[in-house]
Amino acid sequence: MNTENQVNANQKTLVVKIVLVAAAIVALAVLFSMYNSGRTSAQQSQTVIQGSVKMTEIDLNSMLDGYIDAVNVEEGDEVKAGDVILQIEPDIVQAKVKEAEAALGQARAGLAQAQAAHQAAQAVLAKAQNGARPEDIAQAKAAYDYAAVTYERMKPLYADGAVSANDFDGIEAKYLAAKAVYEQAQNGARPEDIAAAQAQVAQASAAISQYQATIRQAEGAVEEATTYLNHAAITAPSDGVITAVNVEKGELISTGMALVSMRAAGEAWVEVNVPETSLSMVKQGQQVELFFPAYNEQRFAGTIINVSKSPDFAIKKATNENGSFDVLSYTVKIRLDDMTETLYAGMTAMVDFAAGAQAE
C-alpha cells in the first residue's frame, strides 16, 4: 500500500512540474509578445512628442533700495499696461533730486557771472587794442586843460603863501593825473596793459568752460535722480495677470529682488524638444496636430513657427543600444491656430507631427 501511494505521489509531482513548465513557457511567450508590441508601439509613437504650454512670464524688480510704501495688487488680479503695482517710499530719492537741482542752479548762476566777466574783459581788451575814441580824447584833453590852467594860476599864489601846501599838493596831483589820462588817450594802451586784458579774457573763457562742464554734470545728476524717482512706482509693462506677489507693505527691498510676477496677456504657444534623430519630420511652417490631457485629448491645429538652430540638451546618452553618440534635442516652437480652451503655463501638450504632415 505504501508503494502504491508513493507511485501516485510521484505521478502527481510530475504533473505539477509539467504544468509549471508549461505555465512558464506561456508566460515567456506573453512577455515576448508584449515586448515586441511595446517596441512597435514605441516606433509608431515617435511622431508624437510631449511638450508644454509656454506663456510670457515677467518678473518685476526695482532699481531702488527702500521700503515698500504700497502694494496695489493681489495674485490673480488683471492689470493694464502702466498700472501702478507697487510704490516704493520716495523720500530719499526726492531729496537727491532737490540736491541735484540746487547744484544745477548754482552752476547756471556761475555761468552767467562768468559770461558777464568775459564780456567786460573783451571790452577792456578791445579798448586797449583799438585805443581811445575821439570823444574820449577830447574829454581827457578838456579835463587836462582845466587842470593845467588851475595849476598854473595856483603856482604864484602858493609862492606868495596865499594857498596852503596841502591845497596846492591836491591841485598838482589832479593836474598830473589829468595829464597822464590825456597822454594815455593820445598814445593808446601800453603793451603790458593789453597783455593784462588778454589774460582776463582767457581767464573768463576758462571759467565759462568749467561752468559749462559743471552744468552738464549737474544736468546728468538731475536726470539720473529723476529717473530713479520715476522708478519708485513699479508699473505693469503690459496687460496681464498677476501670478505672484512676493512683498508686503513696509518690507525693506533691495535691487534685483523679484517683487511681483505676472503673465503677460497674449497668445500661448507650445514648445517641444525634438530629438535630432526625428528632426527630418520637422520643418518651419509645417502643420501639426496637438492634444492636451487636460481636455480629453481633443485635437487642435498648430503651426511650427521656429526650429532652434542650436541644441538644447542631450536627451539620451551614448549606450550600446543608442550607438556611440549622444542624441541631442532641438526646441521647436508651435503656434496654436484654433485653440478654444483655456490654457495655463506648463500644461502638458502632445504634438503629433505625422498628422499634420499627412494633412498637407
CATH class of 267-360: mainly beta
Smallest CA-to-CA distance from 333 within 322, 344, 349 is with 349
- Give the pLDDT confidence score for residue 336 in this predicted structure: 92
Report the 3 state secondary structure along 312-356: CCEEECCECCCECCCEEEEEEEEEECCCCCCCCCCCEEEEEHHHH
| Average pLDDT score, the chain | 81
- Give the pLDDT confidence score for residue 30 in this predicted structure: 53
Mean pLDDT of 228-235: 83
pTM of the complete model: 0.47
Helix then strand count (H, E) for the chain reads 6, 15
The pLDDT tens digits for 175-221 are 888 887 777 766 665 677 678 778 888 888 898 899 899 999 989 98
Mean pLDDT of 250-277: 89
Q: For residue 269, what is the enclosing H or E element?
A: strand 269-275
Q: What are phi and psi of 163, to 5 degrees?
A: -120, 135
Sign of the dihedral through C-alpha 200, 205, 210, 212? positive
Mean pLDDT of 311-318: 68
Task: Kindly report, as residue ranges, where domains of CATH 1.10.287 are found in the chain.
Answer: 93-230
- Assign a CATH topology to domain 58-89+232-263: OB fold (Dihydrolipoamide Acetyltransferase, E2P) (2.40.50)
Task: Kindly report, as residue ranges, where domains of CATH 2.40.30.170 are found in the chain.
Answer: 267-360
Task: Kindly report, as residue ranges, where domains of CATH 2.40.50.100 are found in the chain.
Answer: 58-89+232-263
Mean pLDDT of 32-60: 68
- Give the pLDDT confidence score for residue 41 in this predicted structure: 42
Phi-psi region of 333 (alpha: psi -120 to 50; beta: other; left: phi over 0): beta
CATH class of 93-230: mainly alpha
Express as a percent the part of the chain with pLDDT over 90.
25
The CA distance from 82 to 238, in Å, is 7
